[in-house]
């Protein structure tokens, strides 16, 4: 038998969360352990208006450097959330320090928030108009699994070209470094063909013909084979040498990934 608990929230708090901090009704509900509809009823009771459609949409756009960082994040832990008329960018990480730094690198300090959620932090932007087109690249309908057209199935666009900046941010998000063996591994939920395409692009970027391999990992809970991309010792050393020329002051929390 389901037990319903009456939720009481002071109107001043509701107003501050929704209008002062741009929280959605569902996000407010998550704070108080209830659903968005419950919060909607409380707001109606207190005569608190809701955001009109489009309130949170911005015409912000990335410059060329920020676009590279965005694509590097999308190769790793970044994602796009598509609504009825909007789309926002989100990136999860265990370190708030890193997300505060990433927020500045992307130039989204004024249109994003960082929140704590179940042992991790989430950087989420407001809805950005141009991201709807990016969503079509990273989540194309023809690749979606099942009859429900799952919009959360991310792929790696075939037209993406790797740059040092993109690989750096991908590495911070999804890469691991072994101090003992001095090698780097990239992980992601990609199939073998996607890894194969990325390994070739990685070889061209680093100007190497050998030392990059695709290794099998354990299968996931659905029995699908998982893989990782491995750079051997010499290629890892070359990668570190090349990114030394980039103008990024990596946060202390991720210095260990660079041998620090």
On the question of pLDDT at 4 being above 60, the answer is: no
Crossing angle of helices 96-106 and 64-75, in 10° steps, is 140
pLDDT at 3: 41
Segment of 139-153, 162-176, 186-200 carrying the highest mean pLDDT: 162-176
Average pLDDT for the chain = 85
On the question of pLDDT at 1 being above 60, the answer is: no
Q: Which pairs with CB-CB distance under 8 Å and at least 24 residues apart come from 188-194? A: 188/75, 188/76, 189/220, 189/226, 190/156, 190/227, 191/227, 192/225, 192/227, 194/155, 194/156
Selected from 3.30.750.200, 3.40.50.880, 3.30.390.30, 3.10.28.10, the CATH number assigned to the domain covering 164-258 reads: 3.10.28.10
Q: Same CATH topology for 57-143 and 164-258? A: yes
pLDDT at 148: 42
Higher pLDDT, residue 6 or 48: 48
Strand order in the sheet with 175-178: 175-178, 183-187, 227-231, 212-216
Q: Which residue shows structure tokens 């990596």?
A: 250
- Return the CATH architecture of domain 57-143: Roll (3.10)
pLDDT at 2: 42
pLDDT at 56: 63
Q: Tell whether the torsion through CA atoms of 125, 161, 173 and 196 is positive or negative.
A: positive
Domain residues of the chain, as ranges?
Answer: 11-45, 57-143, 164-258
56-106, pLDDT tens digit by residue? Answer: 678 899 999 999 999 999 999 999 987 655 788 999 999 999 999 999 999
On the question of pLDDT at 13 being above 90, the answer is: no
pLDDT at 118: 82
Residues near 96 by beta carbon (within 8 Å), at least 6 away in sequence: 114, 116, 121
């Amino acid at each position: 038998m389901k037990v319903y608990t009456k939720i009481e929230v002071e109107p001043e708090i509701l107003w501050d969360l929704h209008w002062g901090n741009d929280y959605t009704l569902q996000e407010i509900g998550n704070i108080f352990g209830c659903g968005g509809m419950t919060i909607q009823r409380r707001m109606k009771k207190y005569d608190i208006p809701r955001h009109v459609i489009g309130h949170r949409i911005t015409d912000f756009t990335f410059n060329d450097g920020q676009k590279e960082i965005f694509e590097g994040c999308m190769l790793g832990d970044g994602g796009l959330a598509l609504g009825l008329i909007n789309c926002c960018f989100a990136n999860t990480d265990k370190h708030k320090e890193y997300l505060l730094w990433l927020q500045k690198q992307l130039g989204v300090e004024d249109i994003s928030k960082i929140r704590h959620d179940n042992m991790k932090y989430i950087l989420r932007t407001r809805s950005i108009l141009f991201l709807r087109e990016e969503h079509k690249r990273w989540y194309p309908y023809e690749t979606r699994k099942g009859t429900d057209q799952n919009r959360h199935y991310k792929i790696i666009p075939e037209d993406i070209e790797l740059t040092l900046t993109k690989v750096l941010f991908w590495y911070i998000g999804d890469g691991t470094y072994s101090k003992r063996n001095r090698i780097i591994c990239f992980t992601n939920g990609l199939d073998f063909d996607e890894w194969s395409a990325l390994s070739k692009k990685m070889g061209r970027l680093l100007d190497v013909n050998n030392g990059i391999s695709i290794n099998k990992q354990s299968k996931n809970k659905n029995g699908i084979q998982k893989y990782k991309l491995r750079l051997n010792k010499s290629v890892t050393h070359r990668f570190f040498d090349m990114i030394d020329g980039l103008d990024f002051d990596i946060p202390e929390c991720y210095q260990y990934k660079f041998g620090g």
